[in-house]
Amino acid sequence: MKTLFIYTGGTMGMQHTPEGLVPSIGVVEDALQQLYQSGEALGTYEIVTATPLIDSSAIEPSDWNWIGTQITDRYEQFDGFVVVHGTDTLAYTACALTFGLEGLDKPVIVTGSMVPLVDDNSDGQRNLQDAIIASNQAPAGVWVQFAGKRMHGARVRKNHSSALDAFFDAEASAPPRHEAADLKWRDYRAFNLPVITFVPGMSGQLINDCLSHADGLILRCYGAGTLPDKPEINQAIETAKQDRKPVIAVSTCAEGGIALDKYAPSARLMAGGVIDGKGATAAAAYVKLLYALSQNITDLTAFLAEPICGELG
Ligand code: ASP
């Protein structure tokens, strides 16, 4: 079995500096060499390293294009792929790879760690080792391997900011694979898609102002999909509809999704043409909308309402 490692940065390979943890070359490379030489990891591998290595808070859609292209360009030479990534935006990257890698029929495993490999109590070695096994054994698709769990690339979220078991994935209706006849990476382009969380007292004008600079919106509603009943908020939703700017509603709750036909305030969303994000995470809704706009998909409402890789739960 031959695995390609795509090293983008993140805590796993970071070193301590007076300014805090920073990505470094050599740490992940050494750990891999040690795992393969000692026989703890089986098979062979190659590694490609992003320039520069980043704290994943700096990730951009253009970085997803780089990762995706590394996989498709060298697809035939490897049996599986491991993306080493920072945990802060790992869920976004896993979603982006799940949607963007069409026709994938090999495993792509995204992993990282909460504690750097250079520290005694690091979870890096375990996650790396589990990711290598998963890259050989997991079903085709984009998976997140973390703290002994293999999770769905489009259903995962970072749930804890310090525990080693930091990720959680909600139930999925299908594997993390975007089916297509042939393998193809679909590039992401840059769009302004603010993710707005409703809070009591929020001014509707704020949403209107935001919308005037945006290509679409993701609304994180309360519970089953409710929102404050304010004329300016209703007006903003109406304006988005007139301007043909897509708006998706999701829930701030981690599980259960939304039910837009349950309460009167959410019925207003439906009347305003807001797309039902069902059980999608905010990350999945954001990345799917970015994907759809990047691919110039014309019937956005139909595309966003239908699951393509189990992302709606
Ligand atoms: N700030 C780090 C990153 O996302 C956190 C981590 O990797 O755990 O790159």
For the stretch 47-59, pLDDT in tens is 999 999 999 999 9
Pick the atom of ligand 1 nearest to 55's CA.
9
- Interval 206-225: pLDDT, tens: 999 999 999 999 999 999 99
Measured from the CB, is residue 13 less than 6 Å from ligand 1?
A: no
- Interval 277-312: pLDDT, tens: 999 999 999 999 999 999 999 999 999 999 999 999
**Residue 11 annotated in active site:** yes
Q: Model confidence at 266, in pLDDT bands (50, 70, 90)?
A: confident
Measured from the CB, is residue 10 less than 6 Å from ligand 1?
A: yes
Pick the atom of ligand 1 nearest to 113's CA.
8
Which pLDDT does position 216 carry in this prediction? 96
Q: How far is the CA of 244 from the centre of ligand 1 (A)?
A: 36
Measured from the CB, is residue 28 less than 6 Å from ligand 1?
A: no
Measured from the CB, is residue 86 less than 6 Å from ligand 1?
A: yes
Catalytic residue, chosen from 3, 8, 11, 49, is 11
Where do we find the tokens 């954001």? 286
Pick the atom of ligand 1 nearest to 90's CA.
4
Where do we find the tokens 């998976």? 143
Measured from the CB, is residue 58 less than 6 Å from ligand 1?
A: no
| Helix 264-271 vs helix 231-242: crossing angle, to nearest 10 | 30
Q: How far is the CA of 265 from the centre of ligand 1 (A)?
A: 38
Measured from the CB, is residue 112 less than 6 Å from ligand 1?
A: yes
Q: How far is the CA of 55 from the centre of ligand 1 (A)?
A: 6
- In eight-state DSSP terms, residue 57 is G
pLDDT at 268 > cutoff 90: no
Q: How far is the CA of 11 from the centre of ligand 1 (A)?
A: 5
Which pLDDT does position 271 carry in this prediction? 85
Mean pLDDT of the chain: 96
- Residue 107 phi/psi, 5° resolution? -80, 135
